Structure formats: structure tokens, C-alpha cells
Chains A and B, each alone.
Chain A
Amino acid sequence: MTAATELRARQDRGRKVAQNREKWASVRTYVSAAVILFWCLAPAYWMVVTAFRDVGYTYDTSLLPTHVTLDNFKTAFDTSFGNRFGQALLNSLFIGVTVTVISLVVGVFAAYALARLNFRFKYLVLGFILGASMFPGVALITPLFQLFTNIGWIGTYQALIIPNISFVLPLTVYTMTSFFREMPWELEEAARVDGCTQGQAFRRVIMPLAAPAIFTTAILAFISSWNEFLIASQLSNDATQPVTVAIANFAGAQPQQIPYTAIMAAGTIVTIPLVILVLVFQRKIVAGLTAGAVK
């Protein structure tokens, strides 16, 4: 009897120690999580707060919103200092959508082949596509600049769309390849048993199933095109520049004074749709983002 009670007491003590340790571990986890949240969100918060702050209080450093105004958003779209932010938004949208559609239409076939078929040189093709996605844009810019100068394409939309395909297409292919590997392909075989050709099976059975994967890939493709700066900064002009270039070159009334509040407003406008998109499709996006590298 006494031995049993003693044992129980010892077990209780042990449990208590373990509980205490667990409690501490969870406190540490929450503190760490708070630090991560702060690190990731504080600068973005500052952008938004500044975007809504009166231009006369640009350098007000109170952490909560003060002197709230919508004027900066008006200034962002104001064209009187040579800024064409509104136009740039449309340009980015147009370039991004075009690049995404082209990359998806072209890339979906390659992804299917890489995920489903067995053929020689598969590794070579995969290696080539992965290598292409990591290719430095700066190695393309010089020959393209010369070529587009010679044929009068500098400042045209095609001069911005074509180079973007160089990194969006490989990204599209390898993200979709990873997604396609995880799909229930048995259904395709079932469709073929029922008399579909491989092409029909792909269109009628696989495409609807693949829609979420393709949609996620489209978001990733669009974001990477939307964020492109290097090539656009060299090959665009005032009429065709995308938002990244417009924001980088944003001018104020006085050349010496950077119009930060208006820039932050512009930055907020550019970022908010992306952040919403990313947060809504968070799980899928993370899966797509890490697809090429790890699974």
C-alpha cells in the first residue's frame, strides 16, 4: 500500500514538473510568435500608417495613426509632377495578366509531361527549367536592350512581356509539375477505361481537378511578374512603365524632397490586393511556393 501511494505521489510530482516545463515551453513559443509577428508586420504597418498621415507630418513618429487623411492617395494618382501611377497600375495589370496567361497556357503541357510521362532526358529538361528559373535577369538585359533598340521596341509592351516570360514560365512549369504529381491520376485511367482518349481524359477529368493548382500557380506567376523591376526599369518608358518603376521614380513637388507619404500611399495600393490574395489563398500559396524545392 505505502509503496503504491509513494509511487503515485512520485508520478504526480513528475507530471507537475512536466506540466510546468510544458507551460514554459508554450510561453516561449508565444513570445517567439509575437516577435515574428512584430518583425513581419511592423514595417508594413508603418507603410499604411504613413500612407494615411498628413504630408505636413511626414516625420511624425507617433506609433498610432495621427493626422489621418486620404490626400496622399489623391497625390499618388496626381499627374502634375510627371508621375503616372494610375497608368502604371493598368500597365502592370496588363503585363502581369498577359505573362501569366501565356506562361500557363504554354507551361501546363510541359508540367503534365514532366509529372506524368516517362521519357528520356527528363532530368535534363527538369534541370534546364529549374536552371532557367534561377537565371539572372541581368544576363538578359544587355542583349535585349540592344535588340529592342535596333527594332524600335524600347518602351513597348511586348518588350516588357517577353523578358518576363523568361522567369515566369519556368516558375509556372515547376510549380504545376509538383501539384500535378499529387493529383488522383487514377481517375484519368478510369476515364480511359470508359473510352476517353488521353487528351479527352486530360480535358474532361484532369483539368477540372487541376483547377485549384492552376489557379494558385497563376497567382504566383502574376505576383512575380507584378514585382519585376530590373528589366522594366530599363526597357519601359513613361507610357508603359509598370508600378514598380513608377514607385521607384516617384517625384514630388520639390526635387529635393522625397514625397514619402504619397509613395507609401502608392505602395499600399500596390500591396493591399496582393496581401489579400495571398492571405485568402494562404495554404495553397505556401504549397506552391515550396513546391519546387521541398515537399
Chain B
Amino acid sequence: MATELGPTPVKEPASGGAPIHHKPKGVGEDNAIASQGKWAAWLLAPTIFALAIVIVYPIISAIVMSFQKDAGLDPATGLFTEGGPAGFSNYTNWIFQQCAAPDGGTVACPPGTLGAQFWSATGTTFYFTIITVTLETILGFWMAIIMARTFRGRSLVRAAVLVPWAIPTAVTAQLWLFIFAFEGIGNKLFNTTILWTGSEIPARWAVIIADTWKTTPFMALLILAGLQMIPAEVYEAAKVDGASAWQRFRMITLPLVKPALMVAILFRTLDALRMFDLPYILTEGSNNTTTLSILVVNQIRQGFNSAAALSTITFIIIFIVAFIFVRFLGANVVEQQTGAGKGKK
């Protein structure tokens, strides 16, 4: 496997993205780009059309909605408000945590209302994201290194890591709720008497532990795939040159696995930023475990347009994070994607 690799084996040149290397000379040569383009357009049309309906249309309609006022009784103040164009007020209301006031203006949202939770939900979302992704990266890397070794029972380990991944998140949430029950196995094993869902820190860590359990395998498998791209000869050469295990890890493994690692971290980060199922079921958003996704869902029944503004803000936040990853941290998803399949022989 992976023998003809150059000095940077994982991040291979995309070579125009086309699988030119597969194409035998002669026969396919008449397929000019133009005619292939026509073919491609027809083949891609159904997918693009379907995605336009299920993604592009909702995004646009969410953006349109977010500039409209919600008509109806304001649940926070009990006042009737008219619909109509809202300008940016739905956005500013979230960001400055303001609600409608009796005189038609705005006041700071009373604590406990949804409008007062924007920044705490943003904070919670990032808290979860940073901690879970960090834990999952470290644990996942460690698991990947173990799984990359040859030992008896390796396939058993590789199969076992798929178990948490295969269990639906809703079931995972209920399972950990049971483990973290006051009289549950969690407190029993560690001889503690923690009310896990009763206060902020334990509630948050209950979510973090459950999420780490569920998604570390995915991370480990992505990193493992990256590790397997590194040819053994590189390690042999480094060993001959007298590099210690730590040096080999730092100077070979880390740089060579970095492209794969960055993509894995990007995937997990974007996934964590939209976290919903676990805190929604495990802690029901109580004790500062309300993420932005939960806040949007809670808002839907209190006003579509305001919820649309919040979901657009969430989308923008996720987009910015993705942009930072791709632009500044070198998580080149498309290149990884188009470069795929060449290393494996």
C-alpha cells in the first residue's frame, strides 16, 4: 500500500482533480472537455436540483423571513405586535438581547426568556465545541495510533470503535442519562454522589462525556486513514537515523497526518457547533446546556421570523468557523477529496 509516494504523501497534488491517470491513451482521447462538460451537466442536474430544493430554497426563505416582523402576541411581554418589514431588528434583538417594550420600543429581555439567552447559548455552544473537539482529537489520535499497530485482535478493536458510532444519538443520550442517574452506575463506579443533571458543571460534562464517547471513534478512524497513508519506509529510515519515538511522532507522523487531521477536526467542529440531540435529551437544555440549535428550536413556536434570524446567525457563525479552518488552518477539504484514491494502490 502507498509505495510510490513523494515527500508529502498525504497531501498529494490534485492534478487538476480529474482522474487522468486512469485514462488510457487513445480511446477516450476524443472526449474533449466540452463534450464531457455537457455529460457532466446532465448527470449533475438531478443532484443540484434536489439540493436546490432542500437546501438553497430554505436558506433563502429563512433570510427573507428574518427581515419580517413576527405578528402576534409577544410571549415575553404579552403585547400584540403587527407583522411587516423588520429591517435588521430581528438580528439586533438577538445580539443585544432586547425584547419588545409596551411603548413600541425595546427593552432588555427579562432573564429566563429566550431573548435573554443568545450570548449564553453562543458561549455554551463554543464551550462544548472547544472541549469536545479537543478531547476527541487527543483521544482519537491515541486510538488511531494503537489501531495502526499490528497486533492480534486489531480487527476486534477496529470493529469495537464502530459500536458507539452506530448507536443513534438519541439512544446515546438516554443511555448516558441512565448512567448519570443519581443512583446510576456512573456515581457507583466512581463512588461519587453527583447530581449530574442538577447543576451547570456536571450537566455540561455529562454532555461532553457522552459526546466524546459517541464521536471519538469517527475521529479515530479518520486519523487512522491518514496514518495508513504514511509509508513504513519513512519510519524505518528515521529509525536508522536514530530518531527517538517522540521525534518520529513530531517530525514524521504529525506533519504527514496533518492534512487528514485538519479535515477531521473541521468535520467535528462543524458538527459540534450544531450540537442538538445530546443536550436536548440528556439535560433538556437546563443548567446552561442550551446550545444555539436548541435556542432556535425553542424559538420556532414563539415566532418563525425571529427564529429564522437566529438560525441565520447560527449559520453565519458556522460558516465563519469553516472559512477560518479552510483559509488559515489549511483544512483543504476539496483537495483532500479530489486527491483521494491515488495513494491507495
Taking Cβ atoms with an 8 Å cutoff, the residues of A that contact B are 26, 29-30, 32-33, 36-37, 39-41, 43-44, 46-47, 50, 59, 61, 102, 106-107, 109-110, 112-120, 122-123, 125-132, 134-147, 162-163, 165-166, 169-170, 173-174, 177-178, 181-182, 185-186, 189, 192-193, 198, 223, 226-227, 229-230, 233-234, 243-245, 247-248, 250, 258, 260, 263-264, 266-267, 270-271, 274-275, 277-279, 282, 285-286, 289-295
CB contacts (< 8 Å) of A141 on chain B: these are 296-297, 300, 311
Per a CB cutoff under 8 Å, which of A33, A37, A136, A229 touches B273? A136
Per a CB cutoff under 8 Å, which of B28, B337, B343 touches A292? B337
A interface secondary structure, majority: helix
A289, closest chain B residue (CB): B221
In the complex, the answer to whether B344 meets A125 with C-beta atoms within 8 Å is no
CB contacts (< 8 Å) of A107 on chain B: these are 47
CB contacts (< 8 Å) of A142 on chain B: these are 62, 65, 296, 300, 304, 307-308, 311
Interface string of B16-28 (1 = CB under 8 A from A): 1111101110011
| C-alpha spacing A112/B45, complex, angstroms | 12
Report the minimal beta-carbon distance from A94 to chain B, rounded to whole angstroms: 16
Interface string of B39-70 (1 = CB under 8 A from A): 11111101110110111011101100100000
Tell me, yes or no, whether B222 is within 8 Å of chain A by CB: yes
Report the minimal beta-carbon distance from A101 to chain B, rounded to whole angstroms: 13
Per a CB cutoff under 8 Å, which of B143, B185, B221 touches A286? B221
Report the minimal beta-carbon distance from B169 to chain A, rounded to whole angstroms: 6
Report the minimal beta-carbon distance from B249 to chain A, rounded to whole angstroms: 14
Tell me, yes or no, whether B264 is within 8 Å of chain A by CB: yes
Tell me, yes or no, whether B318 is within 8 Å of chain A by CB: yes
Q: Which of B147-163 contact A (CB under 8 A)?
A: 147, 149, 151, 153-163
Given contacts A61-B185, A229-B277, A293-B222, contact A138 B296 (CB under 8 A): yes
Extra pairs beyond A47-B175, A260-B181 (13, CB < 8 Å): A29-B146, A32-B142, A36-B161, A136-B293, A142-B307, A146-B61, A162-B54, A181-B342, A223-B166, A229-B168, A275-B162, A282-B159, A295-B343
Tell me, yes or no, whether B253 is within 8 Å of chain A by CB: no
In the complex, the answer to whether A143 meets B61 with C-beta atoms within 8 Å is yes
Q: Which of B294-310 contact A (CB under 8 A)?
A: 296-297, 300, 304, 307-308
In the complex, the answer to whether B293 meets A109 with C-beta atoms within 8 Å is no
In the complex, the answer to whether A41 meets B163 with C-beta atoms within 8 Å is yes
Report the minimal beta-carbon distance from B312 to chain A, rounded to whole angstroms: 7
Interface centre among A112, A128, A295 (most CB of B within 10 A): A295
In the complex, the answer to whether A243 meets B334 with C-beta atoms within 8 Å is no
Report the minimal beta-carbon distance from A20 to chain B, rounded to whole angstroms: 16
Q: Which of B162-196 contact A (CB under 8 A)?
A: 162-171, 173-179, 181, 183-185, 188-189
In the complex, the answer to whether A44 meets B338 with C-beta atoms within 8 Å is no
